[in-house]
């Protein structure tokens, strides 16, 4: 008999770019007695088809399944697929203790399915993560009743970071509002469009002295701290650099203040559909990307230690460029650099 304590297939699914077929094989393994899975993760695998959820539902209902922890976070499941999953949760054979559906486009309707499943099988599930969804007040209340009722095992319910934007497909569900901080702008940068556009100018501007202002190089930071999951898009003309940096990055010149040249910043350099990522003075040139759009997307998950850059097409299709994996140890913010005859703009993606 083969015992497997934990299985995460995110990298495999991304590698074959065919999550449904590969996952189906793995789901089948959940239902046979030769493979004992206690923990199973498909987080961020672009699961959108009901095929996968029907396999999972069947697996959870199997008498051979001893799955205790299931993570389906960061997939656009929506309520219809949560309903299929809930059919499995209802089964007396289901012994699942931890279910993570963070960022899965779940609304009040999906909360109703989960609540009904718990009513029929109240003895096992103790942790439910529905953060970054849109449960609404009524959906939250349905589950809080289960949390407060001693007849249920539920002890932890996470509904943080909810809102209507969370039912947007893809990374845009994590869209955040950013503005450029005038107090950080180098004297050769002008901010316009309500501090959402930075443009290089030939003549230095008479900005007042400020301890946060960049002295070396045409750089500027956003004023907002980045926490949790955040996504934003930037458009450039000429040459632009999008970065994520610790707030305490240097300001006075040299490599200490240059995005990507130190261990306090990670950057994407954009020019004529050519991309280079840089961190700690190490460059990675990205193979050519076919796109007529001068737009890039940035996705940051602070707790996961993940920072990803994307090329964004005119039809808003995202092409993955690079992902940095690290442990973030200080407060973060977005930053930009412009060059001669260039500008960078923050895009409004919440419309």
pLDDT in tens, 216-227: 889 999 999 999
Give the pLDDT confidence score for residue 168 in this predicted structure: 96
CB atoms within 10 A of CB 303: 9
Looking at the structure, do residues 115 and 240 belong to the same domain, yes or no? no
Closest by CA position to 96, among listed 64, 65, 139, 137: 65
Closest by CA position to 134, among listed 162, 115, 160, 111: 162
CB atoms within 10 A of CB 33: 12
Give the pLDDT confidence score for residue 51 in this predicted structure: 57
Element (H, E) at 147: helix 136-148
pLDDT of 34 strictly over 80: no
Alpha-carbon distances of 342 from 24, 66, 225, rounded to whole Å: 48, 58, 26
User: Would residue 241 count as lying in a domain?
Assistant: yes
Looking at the structure, do residues 128 and 184 belong to the same domain, yes or no? no
Looking at the structure, do residues 221 and 335 belong to the same domain, yes or no? yes
- Domains of the chain: total: 2
pLDDT digits (tens, 9 = 90+) for 317-326: 999 999 999 9
Looking at the structure, do residues 149 and 177 belong to the same domain, yes or no? no
Looking at the structure, do residues 293 and 203 belong to the same domain, yes or no? yes
Looking at the structure, do residues 209 and 327 belong to the same domain, yes or no? yes
Looking at the structure, do residues 252 and 282 belong to the same domain, yes or no? yes
User: Would residue 102 count as lying in a domain?
Assistant: yes
At 136, which CATH number? 3.80.10.10
Instruction: For residues 322 and 318, give the distance between their C-alpha atoms in angstroms, rounded to a whole number.
Output: 12
User: Would residue 196 count as lying in a domain?
Assistant: yes
Residue 134 · residue 161 · CB < 8 Å = no
pLDDT digits (tens, 9 = 90+) for 172-217: 999 999 999 999 999 999 999 999 999 999 999 999 999 999 998 8
pLDDT digits (tens, 9 = 90+) for 82-112: 999 999 999 999 999 999 999 999 999 999 9
User: Would residue 351 count as lying in a domain?
Assistant: no
| Partners of 342 in the β-ladder | none
User: Would residue 145 count as lying in a domain?
Assistant: yes
Looking at the structure, do residues 199 and 161 belong to the same domain, yes or no? no
Give the 3-state secondary structure of residue 84.
helix
pLDDT digits (tens, 9 = 90+) for 260-289: 999 999 999 998 778 999 999 999 999 878
Give the pLDDT confidence score for residue 14 in this predicted structure: 42
Give the pLDDT confidence score for residue 1 in this predicted structure: 42
pLDDT of 248 strictly over 80: yes
Strand 306-312 and strand 295-301: pairing?
Answer: antiparallel
Indicate left, alpha or beta for 244 from its phi (over 0: left) and psi (-120 to 50: alpha): beta
Average pLDDT of the segment spanning 13-22:
41
Tell me which of 114, 137, 166 is where a domain ends: 166
How far, in whole angstroms, is CA 210 from its chain's centroid? 33
Give the pLDDT confidence score for residue 21 in this predicted structure: 45
User: Would residue 324 count as lying in a domain?
Assistant: yes
Tell me which of 166, 197, 224 is where a domain ends: 166
Domain that holds residue 201: 172-346
Looking at the structure, do residues 84 and 225 belong to the same domain, yes or no? no
User: Would residue 33 count as lying in a domain?
Assistant: yes
Instruction: For residues 265 and 298, give the distance between their C-alpha atoms in angstroms, rounded to a whole number.
Output: 14
User: Would residue 179 count as lying in a domain?
Assistant: yes
At 184, which CATH number? 2.60.120.920
Tell me which of 146, 166, 186 is where a domain ends: 166
Query: What is the DSSP secondary structure assignment for residue 202, as one 8-state letter?
Result: S
Give the pLDDT confidence score for residue 216 in this predicted structure: 80
Looking at the structure, do residues 89 and 207 belong to the same domain, yes or no? no
Looking at the structure, do residues 12 and 138 belong to the same domain, yes or no? yes
Looking at the structure, do residues 192 and 316 belong to the same domain, yes or no? yes
Whether the model pTM is above 0.85: yes
């Amino acid at each position: 008999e083969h015992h497997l304590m934990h299985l995460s297939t995110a990298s495999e699914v991304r590698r074959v770019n065919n999550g449904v077929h590969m996952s189906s094989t793995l789901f089948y393994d959940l239902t046979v007695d030769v493979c004992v899975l206690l923990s199973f993760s498909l987080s961020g695998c672009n699961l959108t088809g009901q095929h996968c959820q029907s396999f999972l539902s069947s697996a959870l209902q199997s008498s051979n399944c001893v799955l205790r922890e299931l993570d389906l976070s960061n997939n656009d499941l929506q309520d219809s697929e949560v309903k299929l999953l809930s059919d499995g949760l209802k089964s007396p054979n289901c012994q699942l203790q931890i279910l993570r559906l963070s960022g899965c486009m779940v609304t009040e309707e999906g909360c109703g399915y989960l609540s009904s499943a718990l009513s029929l099988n109240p003895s096992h599930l103790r942790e439910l993560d529905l953060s970054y969804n849109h449960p609404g007040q009524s959906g939250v209340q349905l589950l809080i009743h289960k949390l407060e009722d001693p007849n249920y095992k539920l002890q932890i319910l996470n509904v943080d970071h909810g809102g209507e934007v969370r039912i947007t497909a893809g990374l845009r569900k994590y869209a955040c509002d950013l503005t450029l901080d005038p107090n950080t702008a180098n004297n050769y940068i002008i901010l316009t469009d309500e501090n959402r556009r930075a443009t290089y100018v030939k003549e230095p501007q008479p900005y007042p002295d400020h301890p946060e202002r960049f002295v070396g190089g045409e750089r500027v930071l956003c004023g907002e701290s980045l926490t949790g999951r955040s996504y934003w898009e930037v458009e450039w003309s000429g040459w632009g650099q999008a970065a994520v940096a610790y707030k305490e990055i240097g300001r006075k010149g040299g490599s200490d203040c240059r995005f990507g040249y130190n261990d306090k910043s990670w950057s994407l350099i954009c020019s004529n559909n050519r991309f280079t990522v840089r961190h700690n003075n190490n460059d990675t040139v990205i193979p050519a990307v076919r796109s007529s759009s001068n737009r890039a997307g940035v996705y940051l998950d602070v707790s996961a230690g993940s920072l990803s850059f994307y090329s964004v097409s005119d039809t808003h299709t995202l092409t993955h460029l690079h992902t940095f994996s690290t442990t973030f140890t200080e407060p973060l913010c977005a930053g930009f650099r412009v060059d001669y005859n260039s500008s960078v703009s923050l895009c409004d993606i919440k419309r």
